[in-house]
A and B are shown apart, each in its own frame.
Chain A
């Protein structure tokens, strides 16, 4: 299976901060990388697909980049509603795998 490693596992930040979350795959996955946001008690919400494509309706402060094994999710200016847990997911393999998650908390 392809292992996905996210860092950091948790992050404290303030409204207005720029935040970057990284995700590393154990082998090349081209750009078959998606980012999800999850809030407590809710299903995950797709933010970015194919490494850098913004899901319709998602604010432009979210962006994704990377290819091969290294990927980043950037939030350019944190808003109160962005405090949540973020997961990367590889869809290169038929055996889909998620990163362990990054919990973004208010400082």
Chain B
């Protein structure tokens, strides 16, 4: 069965970077885009971008251009999202989600990133 397992919670200081991982299993990793979505406390869902695990090509939301980098390691079926120059308003739960195909829709469990001095 398809599973997306994310890395654990992180606490970072303002100005630092964080790198969240998302390990995929149960399907061909290179066959589907991987998306990243975040949710600040009490707020809505915000799409950050996506990566094509086959080519490594990326599309980022304009808001995060220059601060986010999405990469992948196909040898271990893992996608990564790195966010730099962290601010307090980057405190959020970060989700990875496999590209939806028809009614197949899979999300990771979420990773809480807390930015605090």
Contact = CB atoms under 8 A, between A and B. Distances in A.
Interface stretch (B12-20, B23-31, B82-90, B97-105): B97-105
Contact of B105 (A46, A95, A97, A99): A46
B100 A44 contact: no
A96 B103 contact: no
A24 to B, nearest CB: 16
Interface residues of B, number: 20
Contacts of B107: 43-44
A96 B62 CA distance: 11
Contact of A98 (B44, B103, B105): B44
Contacts of B9: none
Interface string A78-107: 000000000101010011111111000000
Contacts of A43: 95, 97, 107-110
Contacts of A95: 47, 59, 61-62
A34 interface: yes
Given A1-B62, A44-B107, A49 B100 contact: yes
A96 to B, nearest CB: 4
Contact of B45 (A46, A53, A56, A101): A101
B47 A98 contact: yes
Nearest to B33: A94
A77 interface: no
A99 B46 CA distance: 9
Contacts of A91: 100
18 contacts: A1-B62, A36-B45, A43-B95, A43-B107, A43-B110, A44-B45, A44-B95, A44-B107, A46-B103, A53-B102, A55-B103, A55-B105, A87-B45, A94-B50, A95-B62, A98-B37, A101-B44, A101-B45
Interface of B: 35, 37, 44-47, 50, 59, 61-62, 95, 97, 100, 102-103, 105, 107-110
Interface of A: 1, 34, 36, 38, 43-44, 46, 49, 53, 55-56, 87, 89, 91, 94-101
